[in-house]
Amino acid sequence: MTLQKKPFEPRLLLADCIQAHQQKAVEKSVLLCVEVSPDLPREISGDPLRIRQILSNLVGDAVKFTEHGRVDVRLGGYFIQPGQFKLQITVQDSETGLGLAVTRGLEELPGGAVQVQSEQVQSELGPGTTFTVTLPCGAGTATGGEQETDLPVQGTSTPAAPARPARILVVEDNHVNQKVVTAVLRKGGFSIELANDGQEALSKLETCAAFDLILMDVQMPVLDGLEATRLIRKESRWYGLPIIAMTAHAMSGDKERCLEAGMNGYISKPVHPSMLLRTLDEFLSPKIS
C-alpha cells in the first residue's frame, strides 16, 4: 500500500466526511456528534485520501449498525516532536458495535503507521464500541483555534456552523465567480451578502447590518474595487473593517496597489477554497466566539 504525503486541512476533510453520512443519520434518528481538539493543527501533511477512507468507513459503519442513540466522532492528536504529529480519529457508537471489518487492511500500512484500539463500552442502550485510529503526520505549530473545536451535528441535515457566523459581503460582478465563492462560504457556515460592483457595495454598507469582512473583486464596472475601498476607508466607522482583494492579475505591484488602496489582504483568482477559508480565518478569528 503506497501512501501519499501532501498537506491538507483535517477540519475540511472531517466536515466533508460527516456531510456524506449526515442524511443517513437523520433518517435513522441517530445523533451524529463531532468534536475537534483545539490542539489539532490547521494543516497537516499526510495521505488525505487514505485518511478519508478510514474515517468514512468508521463513521459509515457506526451509523449503519446503530439503530438508536448516538455516534461520536472525535479528531485530535498530539505532537511527538516539532514537525511530527500523531493524528487520532476516534469513533464511538452507543449501541450495536462497529464490527472489526472496518479495520480490514489498515494493518497493511507500512511501518505500523496505523494503530486501532477497540474496547466495549456499556450504555443504557446496550454494548457499544470505540475505535481509535492513530496516524503519524507532518504538521506545523499553528492550531485551528478555539472557534473551530466544536462541530456538533445533532440530527440536522448539514454540519453545524460557528455559534455566531461571520457576515461576509462578496463584491463580484462575474456570476460564475459569485457561485464559486458563495458555495465555499456557505459550506464554511458564513452569512453572505452579494454586491455586483463597488457602488452597490457602498449601498449595502449603508443600508444593511454590519459586516465582518468584505471580499472585493478588483476589476468591476461602475466602480472598481480599488476606488470602492478608498471611499470605504474615508469613513471612520468602517476603518477597521477587513477588506480582502480578489483578482486574477498576478502582475508585479498588483498586491501593493491593493494594500495602498486600504485593503488588508489579497487572494488570487481562481480562488482556491482552502486558501480562501484560511485567509478568512486569519482576519475573522478575533470576531468569532
pLDDT at 83 over 60: yes
Of the given ranges (24-28, 97-101, 245-249), which has the lowest mean pLDDT?
A: 97-101
- Asked whether residue 68 falls in the same domain as residue 130, the answer is yes
**Helical residues (DSSP H) of 161-253, grouped into ranges:** 175-187, 198-207, 225-233
- Asked whether residue 175 falls in the same domain as residue 141, the answer is no
Q: Does a structural domain hold residue 159?
A: no
Query: What is the distance between the alpha carbons of residues 103 and 98, in angstroms, rounded to a whole number?
Result: 10
Q: Does a structural domain hold residue 156?
A: no
Mean pLDDT computed over 14-34: 83
pLDDT at 287 over 70: no
Q: Does a structural domain hold residue 155?
A: no
Domain at 17, CATH number: 3.30.565.10
Domain at 277, CATH number: 3.40.50.2300
- Confidence class of residue 20 from pLDDT cuts 50, 70 and 90? confident
Of the given ranges (152-156, 162-166, 214-218), which has the lowest mean pLDDT?
A: 152-156
Q: Does a structural domain hold residue 1?
A: no
Q: Does a structural domain hold residue 153?
A: no
- Confidence class of residue 101 from pLDDT cuts 50, 70 and 90? very low
Instruction: Please tell me the predicted confidence (pLDDT) of residue 153.
Output: 39
Instruction: Please tell me the predicted confidence (pLDDT) of residue 55.
Output: 86
pLDDT at 164 over 70: no
Query: What is the distance between the alpha carbons of residues 287 and 29, in angstroms, rounded to a whole number?
Result: 34
pLDDT at 64 over 90: no
Mean pLDDT computed over 270-286: 80
Pairing of β 191-195 and β 265-268: unpaired
pLDDT at 180 over 70: yes
Nearest alpha carbon to residue 240 among 277, 213, 259: 213
Contact of 171 with 214, CB cutoff 8 Å: yes
- Asked whether residue 140 falls in the same domain as residue 232, the answer is no
- Asked whether residue 87 falls in the same domain as residue 197, the answer is no
Averaged confidence pLDDT in the chain: 76
Of the given ranges (107-116, 181-190, 208-217), which has the lowest mean pLDDT?
A: 107-116
Q: Does a structural domain hold residue 76?
A: yes
> Residue 129 is which amino acid?
T
Nearest alpha carbon to residue 53 among 99, 127, 3, 118: 3
- Confidence class of residue 171 from pLDDT cuts 50, 70 and 90? very high
pLDDT at 127 over 50: yes
Q: What percent of the chain has pLDDT over 70?
A: 74
User: What domain count does the chain have?
Assistant: 2
Query: What is the distance between the alpha carbons of residues 71 and 61, in angstroms, rounded to a whole number?
Result: 10
